[in-house]
Structure 1
Amino acid sequence: MQEISIGVIGLGVGERHVAAYREIPGVTVAAVCDMDEEKLHAVADRQEVDGRYTDYRKIIEDPRIDAVSICTYDNYHAAQVIEAFNAGKHVMVEKPITLNREDLAKVIRAQQDSGKRISSNLILRQSPRFIALREMVQRGDFGDIFYMEGDYLHQILWKITEGWRGQMDFYCVTYGGGIHLIDLMRWIIGEEVTEVTSMGAKKQTRGSSFAYPDVMTNLLRFESDALAKNTTTFGPQRHKMHSLNLYGTKLSFENGIPDGRLFRGDRPEDEEPFTVPYPAVEKGDLLPDFVAAIREGREPNVGAQDVFRVMEICFACWESVQNRRNVDVTYTI
């Protein structure tokens, strides 16, 4: 088994990465990094990591480290990903990997030139319920999917009014939340988005320093002409929910807690519970596959094309909000 040495940069959610890597046979977390020295040593002590830096370049430049997890603030991702590829590292990066098209083009170029793997923590693909739904859709159980709804509903408004996200020069709630459901729907249906129409509103954060829409709704058209809605809100008065609804010519699905529901018609007897566990997934659950992809010389389950394309869909959504018009989605790879 190929021994893999890992460095983790950013120790908020990054601590979950450290813990997950430590469970993988043959993987060593050689070093961690955080700007906050107190947090750095607290996490490193808990996770028993010797290498400790406040400068991320110390990890990226270390020739002994094979791969890095980048879990820093969103506006740092692009530069750190590019530097990691230039140093010959494989990269797992929290979403969004960049905040604009120009930086994405640079990331794509660096990744392609390096020949190294990239993945992003689009963790809903690991939920047993969504895996089961994808298998049913691909098998034809739903018939022809013609409409979907995938909404990110999470009461975390403080993250954009008080946290670091609200202090960034630019922040888009679709990039931070809705991206999960956009990726999930394209993965389940096995198609790409071709066109978007989006709207944004700043109502919940009026009077705060946050300057961008706090709610975004995106309408998506897929290759088969299936339509979908994707809404992100950080202020709902409810528990966290990945609201996924699928409507097909044979079968429909609505997500719920604890169970989802399947519908084969409009009568009470046509409804049945869908009890496959949800979310039943942890932040580090994609990391074993990322390591396996490095060892096996293959694309991760969330591979380069997925990572880049879902960002290009998100960029099109923001452009639609800015320009108040439909936007065709184009893909670099």
Structure 2
Amino acid sequence: MSAHLFAPYTLRGLTLRNRIVMSPMCMYSAESDGCATEWHLVHLGARAVGGCGLIITEATAVEPRGRISENDLGLWDDAQIAPLARIVDFCHAHGAAVGIQLAHAGRKAFSRARGFGPQPIVAPSAIPFAEGWATPHALTVDEIEALIAAWQAAARRALQAGFDVVEIHSAHGYLLNEFLSPISNHRTDEYGGDLWGRARLLFRIVEAVRAVWPEEKPLFVRISATDWVEGGLQVEDFVQLAPELQRRGVDVIDCSSGGITPTPPPPDVVGAGYQTPFAARIRQATGVPTMAVGLITAPEQADHIVRTGQADLVALGRELLRDPHWPLRAAHTLGYDVDWPRQYERARPLR
């Protein structure tokens, strides 16, 4: 049978039971030390019970100043491994693979200048995110080297915790997106200038993570395929970058958009599956596997994305907050026979 939403999908040594992915979403529920809590266990574990093929944690900071809020997850310290490993073990026991999104918020991190936070924010250039936001410190080359090492160390800890996938967060106006975008990167050294200079840090982090991330485990990168502002990144930039990311060991491009400025997408653009064309364009132009995300809510819609080759994986966010068992319901709607948790068998709909 041709590819469909409930067809298994193999990446390197990992086979997902279906193409449904829980998109990373911040829960603002971590301890102040960045450790996962009972909330994360129940929240992520419920989606494993509910039938997701892959669950990706919220943005997990590679250093304390890289958190979006003071209650975001972190993986800069060995003490943060065990609470995450408990979640991974539970999800594995219920058939789901688990990924971790490693991130740095850059100039959008919480900071003392905005009323809270331990230290100044950092960015490629000393350009604030918006009026009223702090002006970030422009990272030096030595500081960039330290950040690359932080990403690599976090990937080592992710391996110790048992994760199946690492996703590098290079979207939504956070640090790596800031380096990529000409809106926020005005550097004149090797980390600025043209697209290839602005992509240098992302390439180096991919290489550093892949150096410690086992060959049999997949590596994803999340991008903002457009900045939604004139002069910013566009999907054609990623048509150029995707093959180079793949050559460095990236297996899937997770295609989101926006966030480099407060400017939202045009109202006439936003609608069901409005970001899917980005995933389709990159996949069809380069052959690099992609993941679609953004206002994907209906089983038929998600299935159509896979069947028509627009993306290899479909990520759901808010819809999985509304319905943790969306995959089980979708399988019934689409007529696919999937395993239900034995504890829930009595609630399984009749054909």
Provide TM-score, normalisation by structure 1: 0.28
Provide TM-score, normalisation by structure 2: 0.27
